[in-house]
Amino acid sequence: DAGVTQSPTHLIKTRGQHVTLRCSPISGHKSVSWYQQVLGQGPQFIFQYYEKEERGRGNFPDRFSARQFPNYSSELNVNALLLGDSALYLCASSLVQSPNTEAFFGQGTRLTVV
């Protein structure tokens, strides 16, 4: 079975541009979460989606948005990129929305904003 897949793996963007990151969860998983991990820090929660609805949002500006599709894949969009948005963006999927359910992480998308 394929694990959580994220695309692209690496990305370089210019300040002010827009970016879309994609995540395909493990087959059968209905919950997807997004995290931002700045170099040297732990992952910071951005969004959680379950059954195509937003179920949680971290402390990020409105430039960050996401959605989940009927096949449970997800996109994270970031507008008006800033240098500080440079980070590893991780996607995690789980069967349901519960802390008692193991979350599986993808290898992330490394975003560099120049």
* Spatial distance between the Cα atoms of 106 and 36, rounded to a whole number of angstroms: 13
Is residue 64 a contact residue for other proteins (CB under 8 A)?
no
Amino acid at 55: R
Nearer to other proteins, 12 or 80 (CB): 12
Nearer to other proteins, 31 or 78 (CB): 31
Q: What is the dihedral of CA 105, 110, 111, 112, to 10 degrees?
A: 150
Nearer to other proteins, 9 or 18 (CB): 9
Cβ at position 16, least distance to other proteins in Å: 27
